[in-house]
Chains A and B, each alone.
Chain A
Amino acid sequence: MTTQTAEAGQSAYNFAYLDEQTKRMIRRAILKGLAVPGYQVPFASREMPMPYGWGTGGVQVSAATLTPEDCFKVIDQGADDTTNAVSIRKFFERTAQVETTTRTGEATVIQTRHRIPEEPLREDQVLVYQVPIPEPLRFLEPSEVETRKMHALEEYGLMHVKLYEDIARHGAISTAYAYPVKVEGRYVMDPSPIPKFDNPKLEMAAIQLFGAGREQRIYALPPYTQVVSLDFEDHPFDPSKAEHPCDLCGAEDSYLDEVITDDAGSRMFVCSDTDYCLARRDAGHEGAQGARA
């Protein structure tokens, strides 16, 4: 079947799966997104051969962005080896015949679900986010007509009220992921459900593209765009993480996953970015439980 033709060097699919007219439509949306950073550009999202919620928005943006010369990496919560990451990587290996990698430094296009790699990205790299709910105001105002007006009028008081109510109730802003940001002092944007630990990294050298398939929105951040996490003078933004070094590689600067290891309450903290962790261990760093068998 298709696997055999792909192996023979010929794919039954158009390059990167999507038809050319669809890619042109997505590309035009990406360009307008870059011209108006943080603004959500509507686009005619297509049915993809995977369910909504599995990264159809990111996949469409990647398909419109990839060239045959690219080296492609996919991460899911920082890991290269989870189902979602593996299947999307295979999808583009088959339909675009691009080279793939798990190493952040080697990749030119990185599709991500809910993390920013620990290793700083360069100007020649593109980071594509999978976005479930692109509208930061959606849980405060369910009407699209209203939220569109609020963005047009720069009416973001409701978001500050929400953060204030967090402080009133919990003593601190309790939003830990999808923490809202303001882009170039204009649009309030949902950075996708990345942990707030990653928010400071949103100001980076690489191009960042955000694709929401079910919600049919594309938005973008050009390199070095000013991205400020919303906060208050007396409650400044705090990109917190677990107070612990990685148990495998000993890193103290990376975002950690807590892993339960038995029924007796034992646990360990490991880097969420698997490539970062592996590279550090290969370089000789070792955490408390990192001794290799």
Chain B
Amino acid sequence: MMASEALTDALTGGFADAPTEAARAFRAAMNAMAFPGRIQPITGGQGPAPLSPAAATLLLTLCDPETPLYLAGAHDTQAVRDWVTFHTGAPLAGASEAMFAVGSWEALQPVSAFAIGTSEYPDRSATLIVESAALEQAGSTLTGPGIKETAAFSLPEPDVFAANAARFPLGWDAYFTCGDRLAALPRSTKVS
């Protein structure tokens, strides 16, 4: 009984109509990356706890057998592993090999383990999906590409993000997810 329930959980929660829902979810993800710190709604996917709908939708939209995925801390459960494997086929990997990583900010530590790309290929870097308790348009001051003058966003450890931006064009990029909303902070954003 338990086994079949778990199995059913793993099989549900994908996109009902993958081409159109993935397109809408990607536009939300693209707008988030293009306007750092701006909170966007994103829906379509539903994964097992503790995966938020926003993080689940991002995984469905961006992950496939070509993208090693790191499940950090409380997100590394059998239910999440089964769900991710069934819906995306992404191979599970350690932090240093991962193209995508999902977990709370604490669970993702040390972030120095993630790929930051090379000077010739800065795109070969990880994207962190930081599951957050809240997203707020307040806190650290952001400047840089995608921001007209300044933006404000609630970052967990501003110093770490400032240091990540300081080594531009190297660095990882981060999404912040909470419920069915997300925001992003690419490495190009200066934090103060």
Partner of B22, one of A20, A33, A149, A205: A20
B6 on the A face (CB < 8 A): no
CB within 8 Å for A186 and B168 given contacts A23-B22, A27-B62, A34-B34: yes
Shortest 10 CB-CB distances between A and B: which pairs? Answer: A15-B19, A222-B146, A35-B186, A152-B119, A32-B123, A225-B145, A222-B145, A222-B34, A67-B23, A152-B120
CB proximity to B under 8 Å, residues A203-230: 205, 207, 220-226
- Within 8 Å by CB of A31, from B29, B36, B119, lies B29
| Given A32-B123, A34-B30, A149-B120, A25 contacting B66 (CB threshold 8 A) | yes
Task: Find out whether the CB atom of B62 lies under 8 angstroms from the CB atom of A24.
Answer: yes
Residues 32-66 of chain B, each 1 if its beta carbon lies under 8 Å from chain A, else 0: 01111000000000000000000000000111101
On chain B, which size bracket covers the interface? 35 or more
Q: Is the CB of B34 within 8 A of A207?
A: yes
How many Å lie between the Cα of A205 and that of B122 in the bound state? 25
Comparing A36-44, A160-168, A283-291, the segment that makes contact with chain B is: A36-44
- The interface residues of chain B, by DSSP majority, are classed as loop
Contacts of B81 in A (CB 8 A): none
- Whole-angstrom CA separation of A186 from B28 in the bound complex: 27
In the assembled complex, the CB of A83 is this many whole angstroms from the nearest CB of chain B, namely: 27
Closest Cβ of chain B: how far from A213's Cβ, in Å? 18
Residues of A within 8 A of B61 (CB): 24, 27
B22-A31 in contact (CB<8A): no
In the bound assembly, the distance between CA atoms of A35 and B171 in angstroms comes to: 10
Closest to A226 in B: B145
Is the Cβ of B30 less than 8 Å from the Cβ of A24?
A: no
Q: A30 to B35: give the CA distance in the assembly, Å.
A: 14
- Contact A184 to B188, CB < 8 A, known contacts A16-B19, A35-B33, A65-B27: yes
